[in-house]
Amino acid sequence: MDLKSGYPFWAVKNGLMSAFPAVKADLKCDVVVIGGGITGALIADELITSGFATVVVEQRDIGWGSTSASTALLQYEIDTHLLDLVKWYGEENGVMAYQGCSDAINALAELVSEVGDVDFARQQSLYFASQPEDENTLHNEFKLRHKHGFKADWLAANAVRERYGLLSSGAILTHHAARIDPYRMTYRLLERLVTRGGQVFDRTTIEAITTHENGVTLRTEEGVKISCQYVVLAAGYASQKWLQQKVAKNLSTYAFITDPMDADTLGALTTTMMWESARPYLYFRCTGEGRLLVGGEDDDIDIPTKRDARVEKKCQKLINRIADIFPNFELKPTFSWAGTFAETADGLPFFGPHEQHGPRVLFAMAYGGNGITYSMIGAKLLREQIQGRQHKLAQLFSFERLS
Ligand SMILES: Cc1cc2nc3c(=O)[nH]c(=O)nc-3n(C[C@H](O)[C@H](O)[C@H](O)COP(=O)(O)OP(=O)(O)OC[C@H]3O[C@@H](n4cnc5c(N)ncnc54)[C@H](O)[C@@H]3O)c2cc1C
């Protein structure tokens, strides 16, 4: 599956940070994680910390899937409003999902403090009304979040204009968000895994998964067998290939990044990431070097050849949108790219077993705009599942909600 087009910035900036071998001989372990992206790395880290002999297997190079294309805004406010989650799944579940994402940002911050140097920074997040008609919904969303203790302010049109130079009829300013270099974080976690006795193999494709009563056997493209107790399928947007049931829809999404800009020009953007109420939404944030990273312009379907051809045109549309908002910016994109992106119908991820494969094959489908925060939740959720315990979000994030 071709996951990206153009030049994803993180891979260009960081290059191949470490070399890992391909698997050559049969081996045994407790858990195999299929997929060396940010999801696989976070899960493998959680497993090895809990004492499981863990092996990560990646068909490309580490971090070379969607992780290298990610714009990596870390937010607890997910693409689906709390208002909608409460309507569909009840107040307790909706709040639990939002709280889980909020906790995940803190858990990521803690991990970063251990591995270091991944361009992580705490940020604020401004969610602004794209059109006056959206103001009421956003205000109701703010009130519901406020009621449940999520730290945020409501900014009326004047305040949005004064503080951010943005024309909008209202916005939610959230105080709990962050940014990260997801590619670097993936390498840091997997390098640490190896120092803790785990194994990482790249250029190794898993072709078959066979479950039996006491374990699972995996076969690589070269015919090497890996035996384990559990498999975690953290294969990103390719995970759907292992399921007959369609659980998500693939889209294409676009992004570009500028050269570093000075702090005076960037103003509030140095501390505040922004996104809007329209769907698909425009979003933007700064990197630690002062580069502006902008994303959006999603296509409703993902056809890699069309996506490849559209990168430049979509990038120009993103530039025009930013120029409308911040006419003083001189925007010169240094790199632009596109990536596959998957969405579930309700914006929530899937973590856990599917009846097609039984209890030993655990899916990690961190789908949606908050894929990375979801992956952090999934790491803890799946580790608890393997330990025979039930995480509080296990039921809501399971495939059961599809029935
Ligand atoms: C442009 C863009 C912007 C985004 N912005 C954000 C954002 O702002 N915030 C956020 O939280 N999320 C964002 N996301 C989503 C986020 O990037 C993803 O959730 C995350 O990168 C997915 O990581 P992953 O490890 O699950 O998938 P991947 O990085 O794709 O890793 C899965 C890996 O599995 C490997 N694999 C697949 N099949 C096999 C096999 N059979 N054998 C061996 N290996 C296999 C693949 O090669 C791949 O490397 C964005 C995504 C894109 C594309």
Q: Is 62 in the pocket of ligand 1 (CB under 6 A)?
A: no
Is 27 exposed, middle or buried (CB count within 10 Å of its CB: 0-12, 13-18, 19+)? middle
Q: Looking up tokens 């489908």, which residue turns up?
A: 365
Q: Looking up tokens 């039984």, which residue turns up?
A: 358
Domains with residue ranges and CATH for the chain: 19-69+183-246+347-402 (3.50.50.60), 132-177+249-343 (3.30.9.10)
Task: Give pLDDT tens digits for 330-384.
Answer: 888 999 999 888 999 999 999 999 999 999 999 999 999 899 999 999 999 999 9
HSE-CB at 173 with a 13 A cutoff on CA atoms is: 16
Contact 139, 82 (CB under 8 A): no
Task: Give pLDDT tens digits for 77-86.
Answer: 999 999 999 9
357, two tokens: 């494969």
Q: Confidence band (pLDDT; 50, 70, 90) for 326?
A: confident
Q: What is the dihedral of CA 165, 169, 175, 176, to 10 degrees?
A: -110
Q: Residue 23 has what DSSP assignment? A: P
Average model confidence (pLDDT) for the chain? 95
Q: Which residues contact 187 (CB under 8 A, 6 or more apart)?
A: 14, 17, 18, 62, 63
Contact 4, 338 (CB under 8 A): yes
Report the nearest-CA residue for atom 50 of ligand 1.
70
Q: Confidence band (pLDDT; 50, 70, 90) for 3?
A: low
Q: Mapping DSSP to helix (H, G, I), strand (E, B) and coil, where does residue 103 land? A: helix
Q: What is the pLDDT of residue 301?
A: 82
Q: Residue 327 has what DSSP assignment? A: T
Q: Which residues contact 215 (CB under 8 A, 6 or more apart)?
A: 227, 228, 229, 360
Q: What is the pLDDT of residue 340?
A: 87
Whole-number Å distance, alpha carbon 135 to ligand 1 midpoint, is: 33
Whole-number Å distance, alpha carbon 142 to ligand 1 midpoint, is: 30
- Integer Cα distance of 108 and 120 in angstroms: 9
Ligand 1, pocket-test mutation among 70, 202, 340, most atoms within 8 A of CB:
70
